[in-house]
Amino acid sequence: MAAGAQRRGTTVTSEAAPKDSLKPDICVVGGGSAGLSVAALAAALGASVVLAGTRRPEGASLHDRSLASGALAAAARRAEEFRRGGAFGLVSSGELQVDLARVRAHVREAVRSAAPLDSMERFRAMGVRVVAAEARFADRSTVMAGEAAVRARRFVVAADSRPAVPAVPGLEDVPYLTGETLLDLETLPERLVVLGGAVAGVELAQACRRLGARVTLVETGPRLLAGEDPEMAAVLERALRAEGIVVRTGVEVLRAERRQGDRVALVLRGGEGEETVEGSRLLIAAGRAPDLDGLALDKAGIEAGPAGIRVDAGLKTTNGRVYAIGEGIAWGGEGSLHATNHQAGLVVRNALFRLPARLGAAPVPRLVLTDPELAAAGATEEEARERHRDIRILRWPFAENDRARAERGTAGHLKAVVTRHGRILGCTIVGPRAGELLAPWLLAMEKDLKVTDLANVVHPHPTLSEIARSAAVEFLKPSAQNPWIRRLVGFVGRLG
């Protein structure tokens, strides 16, 4: 069901709020992208659906941000390919010129191209009743949307999010950018300081560096991409440093200061004492915070905190009639579009069919749109060692793949964590097109295939997909040293 739930964007235009009482099977409350997935899937299954709430402005929804990140990364990748053309014998007579206005137009066109898929007319055609008015809970079983009272069999809160702003002394007096406002600039900053070393911070730091800015990336934690395998995150960090990005990790941000003109500075304290990093602009990429304002969750008995709405593994809130989904929930690691689309399928199964669908039953991938990309699913090595006594680590470098050699994209490797019996616990890939290369490992984990099944798949040559088989074959190599296998080979050989 989750596959059918993938709706894009959140641009639903307005219509007058009805002055009546509505009693649908499901009422989706809020402007989050995930709610549109729920509405579309439930309507496709024949349920009556009300979509209540206002939509976020263009560029602010989860889908818009995901699409914008991909478009910006694509522009930055083209710039880097231009610079590296000499390695392929392609020599340009001039320097690369970056027109930020045209980059911005490219990104916005990518976002706008998906907007018609979520127009109000399309949802009307699906049979969804759209009430484009501020929605709030009146009690445990009623939502008011404008002048309409909605008393649904089940409610789904699909709150959106806003950029999280860290508590840094002096930051309130310093002009700063977020991922949503970066491309509002007319020109790219000469020196950019990025605060935040999670996915958004890493992606934006590399994109801005490749488009011509000098970048310093600051992370208060001990390393970048804290939720990923340290070995693999380190591969990506080395790639960022090699491109000229200055990385500062494991530091405390003492204060932010406004310098002459619009220049900004962060005063840091690390293992070597205090240091100051200065730039022409500051970009805050410290994650997202749930936007629950105006929903009156307390009137419905729904508990929420700074991290979001409290839900169980079935995405049910503390009100048994209400589910929550998307960026507004307090459930770690679920902030990507593919994760929220997965949640949509679970919610519809739970709400309409009372099926025991729960988070964690299927591997949800993670992706960092850098170059090289980082893609992962399942357990890291550290997590696997905590849960299993005996595991094996399988690795295969891109440098040993012919397609990667031909394209000069040999940085990175694949790392899979398996049990001694070959069950796949997790996989992380750092390298070109890692997101696509993760697919067979996701399928294997979902269908409980063994790593030996991947070893038996024949791939076309030369392709990057051969890396999956090469890594899987590593699992079989110890068997070749088994004395019983050697005796069997010798016995069969003597038979002629």
- pLDDT tens digits along 225-267: 999 999 999 999 999 999 999 999 999 999 999 998 789 999 9
Whether 63 is a known active-site residue: answer no
CA-to-CA distance for 131 and 12, rounded, in angstroms? 10
- Place 361 in a pLDDT band, splitting at 50, 70 and 90: confident
More confident residue, 494 or 344: 344
Q: Which residues are annotated as a binding site for NAD(+)?
A: 196-203, 219, 287
The string of pLDDT tens digits covering residues 68-85 is 999 999 999 999 999 999
Q: Identify the pLDDT of residue 24.
A: 97
Give the pLDDT of residue 482: 61
pLDDT at 3: 38
Whether 60 shows a pLDDT value over 70: the answer reads no
What's the confidence (pLDDT) of residue 14? Answer: 43
pLDDT at 492 over 70: no
How many angstroms from the chain centroid is the CA of residue 129?
A: 30
The per-residue pLDDT for range 286-326, each reduced to its tens digit, is 999 999 999 999 999 999 999 999 999 999 999 999 999 99
pTM recorded for the entire structure? 0.90
CA distance 63 to 9: 5
Return d(Cα 411, Cα 402) in angstroms, integer. 13
- Say which of 342, 388, 421, 461 is annotated catalytic: 461
- The answer, yes or no, to whether residue 102 has pLDDT greater than 70, is yes
Closest CA to 377 of 440, 433, 427, 418: 427
Can you tell me the distance from the alpha carbon of 239 to that of 235, in angstroms, rounded to the nearest whole number? 6
Going along the chain from its start, the domains and CATH numbers come out as 26-163+289-353 (3.50.50.60), 171-286 (3.50.50.60), 372-482 (3.30.390.30)
Q: What is the pLDDT of residue 116?
A: 76
Over residues 379-399, the mean pLDDT reads: 95
How many angstroms separate the CA atoms of 283 and 161, rounded?
A: 18
Higher-confidence residue of 1 and 431: namely: 431
Percent of the chain with pLDDT over 70: 90
